[in-house]
Structure 1
Amino acid sequence: LATHLSIPTSANSLFRLLGKLPDRRLGTAPRVLGVDDLAFKKGHVYGTILMDMETGERVDVLPDRTADTLTAWLRDHSGMEIVCRDRPSAYAEAVRTACPDATQVADRFHLWKNLCEAIEAR
């Protein structure tokens, strides 16, 4: 979008600005939570971004992508009915542990990637 609008910037600058945004609803979680990993420094430092999938707003950014960190966050923010997550098993384990009643679904990107991999395997 920045390129389309002729705004010179880098992905790192956009991530840095994203991390500086204030949290709007402390202590609550969205009904549909999106969980995905992101690179703070590509190939070296990764984190987890949490999104409200109904509004598109950022909920939080976690400093790593471990099951323990996500589990702790999920336990502190109850109320999710659906978790739309990335493929890592750490995310699946965290959701199963902290909110077992939530329905886990794959996001569109990963559904498409899974389909492509299944077709290529045939």
Structure 2
Amino acid sequence: MEFVWMSDNHNIVPDSTPEGSSWSGHEPIENEGFTYTHTFSTLGTYEYHCQPHESAGMVGTVEVVENPSSGGGGEKELEELGVPIQAHWVGAATILGIIVTAIFTFYILKYGESAHTGTGRNG
């Protein structure tokens, strides 16, 4: 796993690691552009925090599993992508509304007013 510093004054301090793990994090403070790479070989949950920013909620978790379920693409359900299904329906309804409005506008511009709004027949 690669950790990339996107701003200044960060480190990685482990809070808990699985039994048998030798991960010690990266405790020296580093600045933007620094990268730290570690291969997690022991299965389990690794919890860590950034010491200067822990009070701001800068914490993280790495879960190391034997057979990751997202190991190689394939089709995914919409819910697996992190977007609720309702958001997709809102997007589809918005696009449909735009299309219907464009067709209605074209019809009005081409044929003018409705047949039922004229002044009627004289005679």
For the aligned pair, the TM-score class normalised by the smaller chain equals under 0.3
Q: If the length of structure 2 is used for normalisation, what is the TM-score?
A: 0.22
Q: If the length of structure 1 is used for normalisation, what is the TM-score?
A: 0.22
Larger Rg: 2
